[in-house]
Amino acid sequence: MVTQITSFGRSGLYDWMMQRVSAVVLSLYTVFIIGYLLVNPELTYEQWSALFEATWMRVFSLMVLLSIGMHSWIGLWSISTDYIKATGARFFFQSLCGFVMFVYVVWGVQVLWGL
């Protein structure tokens, strides 16, 4: 029996909703970046740097970073609970995924905000 203790949300419906919301955020960011690159074919480092110096872009990028973590955690949790039946192996896999996602989020915050 798999418990909800390692799930991201309180219920399956909450996880499903968070998965959809994070997918929308990721899609909007992808469309924006592709559009920005298409509108600026001769993009320079200064333009790219200025884009990411803007607070709204940093906040948008942080939202994307957190959405990636949330989206991947829910997906990997679902996969691991469905396909890894041994409790120890599942715990190890989920712990490793959680640790890697935590490191990526902290690293991303440092890159975005220079902390």
Residues marked as binding? 71, 83
Q: How many Cβ atoms are within 10 Å of 38's Cβ, its own excluded?
A: 8
Residue list for the binding site for heme:
71
Residue list for the binding site for a ubiquinone:
83
With the C-alpha atoms ordered 91, 102, 28, 21, is the resulting torsion angle positive or negative? Answer: positive
Give the orientation angle of helix 55-83 with respect to helix 45-53, to 10 degrees: 80
